[in-house]
Structure 1
Amino acid sequence: MMLSIQELSYSFEEEKPIFQGLTFDVKRGEFVSVIGASGSGKSTLFKLVTGLLEPDQGDILIEGQRTGKRLGSVGYMPQKDLLLPWRTVLENVLLPLEVTKERKQAKIPEIKEWLARFGLADYENTYPKELSGGMKQRVAFLRTLMTGKELLLLDEPFGALDSLTKRNMHQWLLGLWGELQKTVLFITHDLEEAILLSDRVYVLHNKGIKEMKVTLSRPRSSQLIYQSEFITMRKELEWLINHEN
């Protein structure tokens, strides 16, 4: 199991617990989405998994290991791209290697190959201000990949994009997914996005967590959203969100 959350509880100081006894898992190679209303604890959950916060009770196991020091054990991509404006695309992607003090020069050929797969081959010396929103998110995603971590936490990475750009990003990620061989835990408010991209969807609410399996076969296309099977799953997901008991 890549990630195992066991009986997790957390609250801010004397406030009401954000969640209690939270238990779920993510298998190696899965794409799992977490959705829920604002205040349900999605971002707090990510901070706990990354090690930015520590739980009041329960365990967080990464690749079966129970460790108190999780910082740096997963790749994390926030909603905002957070690209450094004074660095080129290539220099931004190299940033994780500088943090870990790996040999950058040895990795540059691999990074250039990934830039080509990401449709960014002609932009390695371009600065962020010259990129579109979708291109910035692709650079930020590649930078997350360059952490070398098997588990990637993506916190609404497409949430700030317009609907057309977001649709293009879905198609791009679906086409790339087979090559990545990574495990993804993904936060989103977009029900269609959750179903289209995921193997499973967890609905987080103040009384616990519910799971919905996505039965769509891979590879997938963004055109699936118009099919009856997809529409049925969206209705099921809406029901899970609106009926907490």
Structure 2
Amino acid sequence: MREAIGLSNSSMLSIKDLTYSFSDERPIFQKISLDVQPGEFVSVIGASGSGKSTLFKLITGLLEPDVGEIRIGQQDTKRRLGQVGYMPQKDLLLPWRTVLDNVLLPLEVTKEKSQEKIPGVREWLACFGLADYENAYPNELSGGMKQRVAFLRTLVTGRDLLLLDEPFGALDSLTKRNMHSWLLGLWGELRKTVLFITHDLEEAILLSDRIYLLKGNGIQEIKVSLPRPRSSELIYQSDFMAMRKELEWLIQHER
């Protein structure tokens, strides 16, 4: 455990003294601050209704804070739309578009020359184990394959900061375990900065450098000191189990 680190001029994401509420209701957040450095994998956990998805909407610019500052890199706090790659829990693949066409969608939205990007996208499809499925439709894919397509579509945005909102929450435990191994290997190669929402404590510990726990209308930071590279076998080790027990206690006593 450690105290929250100070905001840095080189941060990929800096949030300072954030307060937000819906209408005249009690604030969901009140003067919370967090910081994410380039190349970090940071998870956000908390009970249902603690505001995790709302926090993501604030970061993306879909919502504006009542008070406080949100800064992505050196971007002005009011110019956040389109500055991050965002992947929600549901894959949101368009059923009438093939895998390749779904992946190319962000380029079409930004009016980039998507046809010129196809060779590079095909290379990524091969890396993701999807080379034989570029002409398949979403209903022909497994749950894990759909999530890989959705993640590739997020990468195609070209953003260095990726917000992943419970991307594996709907998967069965075995598929989720395979996705953890896949994501750990991929993140190690890409060195993208990831902010990751999850209800799964094992998932948070296995994947993350740090974890932020939303509690009440505040926030607490937990350092994950387990060495990298990591594998799914880590969940059986005593240090891992001790950290899970600590997180469970913090969540149970969060209010």
C-alpha contact (below 8 Å) 1:210/1:240 kept by paired residues: no
Match for residue 75 of structure 2 among 57, 65, 68:
65
AA partner of residue 75 (structure 1): G
Is structure 2 residue 241 aligned with structure 1 residue 231? yes
1:71-122 CA-partner distances (Å, limit 9, x unpaired): 1111100000000011100000000000111111221111111111111111
Query: TM-score scaled by structure 2?
Result: 0.94
Query: TM-score scaled by structure 1?
Result: 0.98
1:119-176 CA-partner distances (Å, limit 9, x unpaired): 1111111100000000000000000000001100000000011111111111111121
Distance, in Å, in 1 between the alignment partners of 2:140 and 2:217 is: 45
Equivalent position of 2:185 in the other structure: 175
Gaps of 5+ in 1: none
Is structure 2 residue 100 aligned with structure 1 residue 121? no
Q: Which range moved further: 59-68 or 223-232?
A: 59-68
Equivalent position of 1:185 in the other structure: 195
Equivalent position of 1:105 in the other structure: 115
Equivalent position of 1:6 in the other structure: 16
AA partner of residue 246 (structure 2): E
Is structure 2 residue 16 aligned with structure 1 residue 24? no
**Alignment size in residue pairs:** 245
Distance, in Å, in 1 between the alignment partners of 2:172 and 2:127 is: 23
Equivalent position of 1:77 in the other structure: 87
Distance, in Å, in 1 between the alignment partners of 2:180 and 2:52 is: 21
Distance, in Å, in 1 between the alignment partners of 2:34 and 2:214 is: 11
1:36-90 CA-partner distances (Å, limit 9, x unpaired): 0011110110000001100000000100333312111111000000000111000
Equivalent position of 1:211 in the other structure: 221
AA partner of residue 22 (structure 2): F
C-alpha contact (below 8 Å) 1:4/1:64 kept by paired residues: no
AA partner of residue 9 (structure 1): T
Task: Give the CA RMSD over aligned residues.
Answer: 1.0
SS in 1 for 2:81: coil
SS in 2 for 1:65: coil
C-alpha contact (below 8 Å) 1:207/1:244 kept by paired residues: no
Distance, in Å, in 1 between the alignment partners of 2:70 and 2:77 is: 8
Equivalent position of 2:173 in the other structure: 163
Query: After TM superposition, which residue ranges in structure 1, 4 or more long, deviate above 6 angstroms?
Result: none
C-alpha contact (below 8 Å) 2:28/2:217 kept by paired residues: no
C-alpha contact (below 8 Å) 1:202/1:212 kept by paired residues: yes
Gaps of 5+ in 2: 1-10
Is structure 2 residue 141 aligned with structure 1 residue 141? no
Distance, in Å, in 2 between the alignment partners of 1:198 and 1:146 is: 23
Matches within 5 A, 1:22-61: 22-61=32-71
C-alpha contact (below 8 Å) 1:59/1:66 kept by paired residues: no
Q: Which range moved further: 215-224 or 32-41?
A: 215-224
AA partner of residue 129 (structure 1): N
AA partner of residue 196 (structure 1): L
Distance, in Å, in 2 between the alignment partners of 1:104 and 1:165 is: 31
| Identity rate, percent | 78
SS in 2 for 1:66: coil
Distance, in Å, in 2 between the alignment partners of 1:140 and 1:17 is: 32
